[in-house]
Structure 1
């Protein structure tokens, strides 16, 4: 074992909104985290900027400029990593024809996401996790496909994060499948993500979580004057847009509107990210995305998957969606010199730690329930092992109803737990854990008799 597992973990005082704290780290994950390179991230961002524009309707024939040259370079870069992995990283274009939409797509256009697929090593573990950034760019006029549109922060930074994750993680083995994606046509209407989300649904992927890293390279808020290289936001929806009437009734009766799959996924990234990355404060934002806005996780949410968005704390709108220019002494435009690469490295490391911990963890417990056969001030939970798997144990997690994060963890070796805390006053969940301390996502219990 990489480290010993104690029989009981209670990580934080049960008061306020303090995040759980862990003193142990898996040394293999820590090694991977340390391998994430700010220099590589900067190289990728600057290389993407050299294509002058990555507008989704720009040139596809040139070898040096436009969306075609950019996607070919991304594919070749992933293929280099594939070779270094002994061919385990599978690289492909996810190609589709986007119909005209009368708004931002004038005529049917062939588009391509770029995928690096790292298959899991456990045939019984069919979980899939996607991590992405969008490689297309734009300037002030979203329909101008020829103007210089460097897109260094929006979103070469997120694309670089996904590519760097592929470079590091393809050298290691995980139980389940990881897919690293450079998405196309985010700026035209989230079309690349919509195509991949529909594919995941049609092919019945067990897609346990999808992350988009979009705008993850700026640390200075021009309007506010705030410089913050320690904070990052994670947006997640609480209620799935595809919940059934029965699920809605259950949610209403248990008050679980903050415990949807996406929100559990976001909480997980906060806990594990802060466990492995120093000087990192993950802010959980209880919205699907920024006010009245959307990102590449949105189509996945609309298909019922747990999609979340990672984004910097303070967007600089002098950079974003702007023609490159200088006016009244102010620089406008999304240029690579304005990206904080050490910050993007930190965000990428948060992604890696969380994905690695999940992909090494057992699958989630099944049929998790809170027993409601009688009135009691105690809480009795029960669950079943994942099919064909016997984890080393389980964590029962709990938090006050006003807390955004789990505040206590109890390690249990069996399949039941009786706690001297009332289900009326706290929220509970259960997650599997292996002998090395890798935790699955939390499962919220249903009422059982």
Structure 2
């Protein structure tokens, strides 16, 4: 049985309930992007104390929007603003105050289990150090910030077992600085980070060459995990795991979720940590061992990102609102909202261990997971891209698969809450656990 067909019934068995994704407003998404563009520039090195222009004004707006949303849910959001001074390198030539704007919706049962949705609020033009020229940043990444704000508005109207964190990050264009700041903050808080959904350039459907794709969104994920030691990498080479990082299994889970929604987008999995020669704020989380993926448009328009606003040779440049597709952005928001709700309801994936050397059966064991009513054991061929077969459901913390020779298969386990919400699959391979690896 295909992973996504079974997974959908497990993830949201209570689909009859009112769905937050059905209240997403395309008009609100557009209004948010237009408001962000209205700050002129949101460059990280721009003015911080002007009430109408620059990164400071944009951050103040994001904080005000989170507080407005919180008032609408009876104070359900806690607003925090992690900050630090940054300097050095060729992108931050002078000491600069870096601030993230973060809203925390605490879980009702397992508040330390956290799923993060984030986007970067800063913008840029052609010259990475130009902090004064207009840098609209409509798609990069006003689209992602609007998505985060809308997710907070609709998800805050419900309660979840786990915590949802909504974040507008600064400093991405200057070297993923906001992502590093939030990843450090998550570690300092001792959060169990189940997943990070980074949304960066998610509001356009037409590429530089005119090619249009408004039916897919790309989901990028690392293969071998970034925090692996040399010893772990050696185990992966021998026993598998190159294609089974927690981030890769988040990507598979999102693809399955998308496949079950006829009103949304299909997820095109890109099995790279990010695009060729590029980066995003999911990477600092992966570096710390937190599962993280990037959502981005199916096709990019390079004339309308990282460019001065101008016209040359009849070609218009600049990241402006008129180049966006807000119906498409609403669909990417829909998928994020569905994923956040599912992850916040579901338990943390277990950490299964497989035993099967020189025997005709396979044994899987794992520790009990808080909030899990049962566990589902999955199996797939070593050359198969997706989890293929659900081989067992059990309330126990281990199974024995008689007649299954482990050499030929990969195995994984997902945890299922009492309401049927299922976690992503955790692979029973070296480094498959959804947690940072112990430091040597």
**The two structures share one fold, judged by TM-score above 0.5:** yes
CA distance in structure 1 between the partners assigned to 2:5 and 2:311 by the alignment: 43
Q: CA deviation at 1:91?
A: 1.4
Check 1:341–1:30 CA distance in 2 against 1; reply closer, same or farther (3 A cut).
farther
CA distance in structure 1 between the partners assigned to 2:170 and 2:184 by the alignment: 15
CA distance in structure 1 between the partners assigned to 2:408 and 2:48 by the alignment: 58
CA distance in structure 2 between the partners assigned to 1:230 and 1:177 by the alignment: 30
Q: CA deviation at 1:342?
A: 1.1
- Alignment partner for residue 322 of structure 1, among 307, 312, 327? 307
CA distance in structure 2 between the partners assigned to 1:277 and 1:45 by the alignment: 26
Does residue 338 (structure 1) correspond to residue 323 (structure 2)? The answer is yes
Q: CA deviation at 1:102?
A: 4.0
The answer as to whether partners of 2:194 and 2:348 remain within 8 angstroms in 1 is no
- Alignment partner for residue 368 of structure 2, among 367, 385, 388? 385
- What is the RMSD of the two structures over their aligned residues, measured on CA atoms? 2.1
- Alignment partner for residue 390 of structure 2, among 385, 398, 409? 409
CA distance in structure 2 between the partners assigned to 1:221 and 1:151 by the alignment: 17
Match of 2:21 in 1: 33
Match of 1:238 in 2: 223
Match of 2:112 in 1: 126
The answer as to whether partners of 1:132 and 1:182 remain within 8 angstroms in 2 is yes
Match of 1:4 in 2: none
The answer as to whether partners of 1:30 and 1:276 remain within 8 angstroms in 2 is no
Give the 3-state SS of the residue equivalent to 1:141 in structure 2: coil
Does residue 103 (structure 1) correspond to residue 90 (structure 2)? The answer is yes
Match of 1:163 in 2: 149
- Alignment partner for residue 226 of structure 1, among 211, 221, 243? 211
Q: CA deviation at 1:253?
A: 2.0
Match of 2:176 in 1: 190
The answer as to whether partners of 1:273 and 1:349 remain within 8 angstroms in 2 is no
Give the 3-state SS of the residue equivalent to 2:269 in structure 1: strand
CA distance in structure 2 between the partners assigned to 1:219 and 1:308 by the alignment: 20
CA distance in structure 1 between the partners assigned to 2:46 and 2:367 by the alignment: 53
The answer as to whether partners of 1:362 and 1:440 remain within 8 angstroms in 2 is yes
Match of 1:433 in 2: 416
Match of 1:83 in 2: 71
CA distance in structure 2 between the partners assigned to 1:214 and 1:19 by the alignment: 28
CA distance in structure 2 between the partners assigned to 1:98 and 1:253 by the alignment: 41
Does residue 302 (structure 1) correspond to residue 287 (structure 2)? The answer is yes
Q: Which runs of 5+ in 1 are unaligned?
A: 1-9, 13-17
Check 1:102–1:279 CA distance in 2 against 1; reply closer, same or farther (3 A cut).
closer
CA distance in structure 2 between the partners assigned to 1:180 and 1:277 by the alignment: 26
Check 1:250–1:156 CA distance in 2 against 1; reply closer, same or farther (3 A cut).
same
Structure 1: 4+ residue segments shifted above 3 A: 18-26, 419-422
Give the 3-state SS of the residue equivalent to 1:304 in structure 2: coil
TM-score, structure 1 as length reference: 0.89
Q: CA deviation at 1:114?
A: 0.6
Q: CA deviation at 1:424?
A: 2.3
CA distance in structure 2 between the partners assigned to 1:333 and 1:373 by the alignment: 58
- Alignment partner for residue 64 of structure 1, among 52, 62, 66? 52
CA distance in structure 2 between the partners assigned to 1:48 and 1:419 by the alignment: 59
The answer as to whether partners of 1:104 and 1:142 remain within 8 angstroms in 2 is yes
CA distance in structure 1 between the partners assigned to 2:194 and 2:53 by the alignment: 36
Q: CA deviation at 1:25?
A: 5.2
The answer as to whether partners of 2:346 and 2:417 remain within 8 angstroms in 1 is yes
The answer as to whether partners of 1:430 and 1:442 remain within 8 angstroms in 2 is yes
Match of 2:194 in 1: 208
CA distance in structure 1 between the partners assigned to 2:114 and 2:75 by the alignment: 19
The answer as to whether partners of 1:29 and 1:357 remain within 8 angstroms in 2 is no
Give the 3-state SS of the residue equivalent to 1:240 in structure 2: coil
The answer as to whether partners of 2:221 and 2:271 remain within 8 angstroms in 1 is yes
Does residue 369 (structure 1) correspond to residue 353 (structure 2)? The answer is yes
Check 1:154–1:19 CA distance in 2 against 1; reply closer, same or farther (3 A cut).
farther
CA distance in structure 1 between the partners assigned to 2:314 and 2:81 by the alignment: 43
Q: Which runs of 5+ in 2 are unaligned?
A: 431-440
Give the 3-state SS of the residue equivalent to 1:418 in structure 2: strand
Check 1:407–1:19 CA distance in 2 against 1; reply closer, same or farther (3 A cut).
farther
Task: Give CA-to-partner distance per residue, 1:27-83, whole Å, 9 cap, x none.
Answer: 267611111221111111011001111111112222111111111011001100011
The answer as to whether partners of 1:29 and 1:356 remain within 8 angstroms in 2 is no
